[in-house]
Amino acid sequence: MQSIARQVEHGVTELVHGIDLVDWMIRQGEAQLNHGAGIDMSALRAELEANRSDSRHAIEVRVYAENPAKNFQPSPGLLTNVCVVDMANEALACPHSLTHTHSLTHSHSLTHSLTQVSLPKHLPFARFDTWVETGTTITPMFDPLIAKVLVVGENRHQAVQRMIEVLEQCDFSGPVNNVAYLQAILRHEEFGAGRATTRFLDSMPFTPHLIDVVHPGAFTTIQDYPARRGVSGGVPPSGPMDFVAAQVANILVGNARGTEMLEITFSGPTLYFHVPAVVAVTGAAAPVRHAALAVAGSMCVDVWNPAPAPPTDLCQQSTSGNVAGDSYRSCKYARDR
């Protein structure tokens, strides 16, 4: 049993011992209220013995709206999609009757259609404690915790592998979160072997698959095809103005046609790539520069052609001046996420 005062990780204890601590706390309070004494401990001992296991292992991770690339600073914003799928890769929408999933409160929803969260009900070894749903806004005023994800296995190795599998199927789209960082920890050899110390994270290598927006550019928005209905995050739900050029940009880099892309209508952004990527620009003619080649004055990205974007390079696109239409930029990481 845990001895910390607030029992903030009581879920781990519950999965390991197969009991419901909150239920027993309520029973204790009820017994004290009605009889002035506590519960019969023999009942608790019997339940513990019935669920006893000498090898059961549980792991919990906390999914936060935090940016690991920026010293874990909070990343508030709108959750445009909250979804976890089952092992058959089928999304399960069951918003209000989820075992082991507690919806404590709902932040404001943009429309009445945003009152659900897709979470699994066929994962007997997994548990999700969360308060969010599609359309929830993570504010900068409170702890940016999105969810606590727990799994249980017959041993440490099985529990670690199950957690990796579950996190791979999580989708908390919107603000930057720490899911990739959690996955890196779980896949690290030292953690898997149980040799991680309190200083383990100081030396653990982690390269985020991120693109930092150094300068956003005027009238540059994120769009997807055909359009994002309901949860737009401030982007008009009309979809891209040139839907053909938008899809071609994604095809050129190997993305699905409907993947989000940048729509640039006046001046483009300055972007910082943390990992190798392939970039394609379609639509109106637009100069695109790599910082590494700027000294030579090279235009290293031609419109309608995919081009590599080396890591740690800045790319800048400007469509100001005599632009006769919209430009689209799509990107895909050159190595797996």
Per-residue pLDDT tens over the stretch 51-82: 887 778 999 999 999 999 889 999 999 998 88
pLDDT-derived band at 147, boundaries 50, 70, 90: very high
Among the listed residues 11, 29, 30, the one whose alpha carbon sits nearest the alpha carbon of residue 19: 11
Q: Angle at Cα 111 formed by Cα 109 and Cα 115, nearest 5°?
A: 60
Q: Is the pLDDT of residue 148 over 80?
A: yes
Fold: same for 57-203 and 211-333:
no
pLDDT above 70 covers what percent of the chain?
Answer: 70
Among the listed residues 149, 205, 156, 150, the one whose alpha carbon sits nearest the alpha carbon of residue 181: 205
* pLDDT score at 236: 66
* pLDDT score at 235: 64
* pLDDT score at 8: 67
For the chain, what are the domain ranges? 10-50, 57-203, 211-333
Q: What is the pTM of this model?
A: 0.73
Helix (H, G, I), strand (E, B) or coil at 165: helix
Mean pLDDT of the chain: 75
Q: Is the pLDDT of residue 317 over 70?
A: no
Residues 221-264 have pLDDT tens digits of 888 888 766 665 556 677 888 889 989 989 988 888 888 888 88
Residues 113-146 have pLDDT tens digits of 333 344 444 567 888 888 888 889 999 998 999 9
Domain 57-203: CATH superfamily, name plus number: ATP-grasp fold, B domain (3.30.470.20)
Do residues 317 and 281 lie in contact, with contact meaning Cβ atoms separated by under 8 Å? yes
Nearby residues of 136 by Cβ (< 8 Å), 6 or more positions away: 78, 79, 82, 106, 107, 109
* pLDDT score at 108: 29
* pLDDT score at 327: 65
Q: Is the pLDDT of residue 336 over 50?
A: no
Whether domain 211-333 has CATH 1.20.120: no
Q: Is the pLDDT of residue 322 over 60?
A: no
